[in-house]
Amino acid sequence: MIKALLKYSISSLLAIGLLYWAFSKSDLHWADIYQSALTANYQWIIVSIVIALISHLLRALRWEQLLGAMHYSPGTTRTFSAVLIGYFANFIVPRMGEVSRCGSLQKTANIPFEKSFGTVITERIVDLLGLAVLVGLTFIVEWKPIQQFLFPNFHLPPTIMLAGIAAGGITFLGLIWILRDRFLVRWQHFAATNKVGKLLQGWFVGILSIKEVENPSKFILYTILIWVAYFANTYTLLLAFPISSSLSLSAGLTVLVMGTFGMATPTQGGIGAYHSLVASALSFYLIPLKDATILATFFHGTQMATILLFGGLSFIITFFLPQKNAGIES
């Protein structure tokens, strides 16, 4: 209890500190945010909220595929509610979203926590790969200005160093492959005799569920559409304000990447870090820092309000959903 309270206090202080730093360095006041809100095009904001909900629905549908690979079928209502509850929890306690999602399905669909948690880890790995592709794409389309702005003195390491790193990585993977049978035997003994091993084994079953997905092309399509929806959500928010409405699609891509990194920080819903990173990205496109911070605050506030509203409703709905036996492992 004390450890959890300490962890929550540290993340809260970090969020407050980052938010204060973002506001103070731009000389921003709440009255400035109110004045900017009066200039917003709320039709675009409503569109962005709808797109955000669609992205969460797509995530729920993709999650259903991973659960289905383990012969569990909770239904879209339960998975969609669980996804929204997970986002809601992240705005309350950092890193509680994954736990809350799986706890919700355990309650409403009788799916073992460790199995569903394994599928969430798989999702995070896939999302990380998607983010890596997005970062790479951003650097390709915006490399020259980004390099001049962030890495003015950057030079590639010598070729021999890169070759040495590559050779070391290949050698390491080769050793793992050669000794794989020994590792497997030891792992099976550990998983059969140790409580932690059994828990990890459940996680791995969930993680490896991606191999058994019935329709891999649909899984890939959902993954692409999720990122497309994230981008569309970001760009429609840019269109909602006169000062950012003329920014290019590539600028929207940069803002999305920086915002994703901000949301990943260990604070409630990325508070503070999101504001600083998105404001920096917008100022990179010659938007004054004060205005950029206002936009970042409004973007984050829109997302936060959406999640708190629909996540809270989903939490209430779960109390009225009858428990379903989602399936039995075959």
Count up the domains in the chain and report the number: 1
Residue 14 included in any domain:
no
pLDDT of res. 178 = 83
Half-sphere exposure of 250 (CA within 13 A, CB side): 13
Nearest to 238 by CA among 294, 290, 310: 294
Residue 124 included in any domain:
yes
Nearest to 116 by CA among 307, 265, 282, 327: 327
Residue 292 included in any domain:
yes
Domain containing 42 equals 35-152+160-318
Residue 280 included in any domain:
yes
pLDDT of res. 329 = 45
How far is the C-alpha of 251 from the C-alpha of 141, rounded, in Å? 10
Nearest to 79 by CA among 51, 99, 58, 52: 58
Residue 329 included in any domain:
no
Whole-number average pLDDT of the chain: 83
Nearest to 271 by CA among 94, 24, 53: 94
Residue 10 included in any domain:
no
Q: How far is CA 63 from CA 118, 122, 131, 309, 324, in A?
A: 11, 10, 18, 22, 17
Lowest-pLDDT range of 64-68, 211-215, 270-274, 286-290: 211-215
pLDDT of res. 208 = 65
pLDDT of res. 150 = 57
DSSP letter, residue 101: H
Residue 324 included in any domain:
no
In which band, very low, low, confident or very high, does the pLDDT at 8 lie, cut at 50, 70 and 90?
low
Q: Are 293 and 28 in contact (CB under 8 A)?
A: yes
In which band, very low, low, confident or very high, does the pLDDT at 33 lie, cut at 50, 70 and 90?
confident
How far is the C-alpha of 237 from the C-alpha of 41, rounded, in Å? 9
Judged against a pLDDT cut of 80, whether residue 111 lies above it is answered with yes
Task: Write the DSSP assignment of 136-199 as a string of letters.
Answer: HHHHHHHHHHHHHHH-TT--PPPHHHHHHHHHHHHHHHHHHHHTHHHHHHHHHHHHHH-HHHHH
Predicted model pTM: 0.79
Residue 29 included in any domain:
no
Lowest-pLDDT range of 30-39, 99-108, 244-253: 30-39
Give me the residue label for tokens 């329709």.
Answer: 215
pLDDT of res. 267 = 80
